[in-house]
Amino acid sequence: MSSDGLNRRERVVNRNGDTNEENVSREVSPERPQNQSIMKRVMSLMALSMAILAMVYYTTQSNDTKELVMASATQSITGPPIAQQVMCSQEDYTEDRVRFPSCAPQRCGRFVSDSVVTESEAKHLLSVAKRGLSLGGSSGGMSTLGLHDGTLSMATNFVNFYKLIESTPEKADVFTEKDLEVYGSVRNKVRKTIATHFGVPAAQLYVTTSSDFSRITTKRAMNKYEVYWLRHVDRHNIECDHYTSVIYLSTYGADFSDGRFVFTDQMSNATIEPKLGRLVWYTSGSENEHFLERVTSGTRYALVMGFSCNPKFAAKEPHIAVQTYIYFHPKKY
């Protein structure tokens, strides 16, 4: 706190708490010593309360974290990506740098680009998300669908998407081979992009089951998995992930309000405004702690993909359940 702030605090106390000797002396009544004692105690408590409030106010004002908009929705990042280098966490990668020396993060940071994923690809992925989530969906504000492990939000729980469509043949055509082709193509482009900018072999990056589509609305959270607005570190939640990517499938300010992505740095918050087709990728450790603002209107869609250097955590390829029907001609059989 500055000296000016301290002086101002003292002036506030003297003006509103009447703690100086001149003001107190006017309150003294020699005929009523008991009332005088009570009054002094009350005034002392008032002065203390005012001092505490003033200190909290000025401390809060001096420690406000500044916001830096790293990428706005009105920008078009078609050249080199916007990049921020950050110091790697000293703890999150120590063991894996020994186990996977050519893949585990040696330098850390975050990137934003609008030129990796095309508008056509983004719109196709948005269609996949909407069709898949239409078969379930959370009762609360956040729903997810994972193509690799088949996890689908359903009311307040999760179900296996693939078992669901196998048990209901009329829903088996919700996805097509083209859908999986687009998803696979985009995933490979993202993998190569991460590899290029972090200097690791693309062949050693494996997509994990933490990858899923998300849909966020203004409904209140119904379980702990829907409380998306808390600060967190990806690697602390999903230990196998070394790199994370996010593809936005809707646009801030047009499709929804608030819901921005915020990196929580020590001196300033680096904020990214989602935009259809925008790709964000970053190292998954403590150096990139972040949160999402709560969505206040509309619907926010995104595709998050986690990548690990450990082949043990490689996710299975998405598949389409095919129902085979044999029709018997009555005259021949």
Query: Residue 123 in contact with residue 276, Cβ under 8 Å?
Result: yes
- For residues 305 and 211, the answer to whether their CB atoms sit within 8 Å is yes
- Residue 165 CA, chain-centre distance (Å), reads 30
Task: Write down the domain spans for the chain.
Answer: 68-227+234-313
| Catalytic site positions | 300
d(CA 263, CA 286): 11
> Kind of pairing, strands 142-145 and 137-138?
unpaired
> In terms of CATH architecture, what is 68-227+234-313?
Sandwich (2.60)
Instruction: Please provide the DSSP assignment of 37-58 as one string.
Output: HHHHHHHHHHHHHHHHHHHHHH
Rounded Cα distance between 182 and 217, Å, is: 26
Closest CA to 131 of 186, 65, 183, 81: 183
Looking at residue 14, its pLDDT comes to 40
Q: Is 198 helix (H, G, I), strand (E, B) or coil?
A: helix
Contact 190, 305 (CB under 8 A): yes
Per-10-residue mean pLDDT, the chain, length 333: 39 39 42 59 58 41 70 96 95 96 97 98 98 94 95 94 85 89 98 98 97 97 92 95 98 98 91 98 97 98 98 91 39 33
- The whole-number pLDDT of residue 319 equals 78
The candidate with the shortest Cα–Cα distance to 75, out of 109, 113, 110, is 113
Q: How many CB atoms lie within 10 A of CB 15?
A: 12
Please name which of 66, 52, 84, 16 lies closest in space to residue 268, comparing C-alpha atoms.
66
Residue 247 token pair? 């593809």
What's the distance, Cα to Cα, between the start and end of the chain in Å? 93
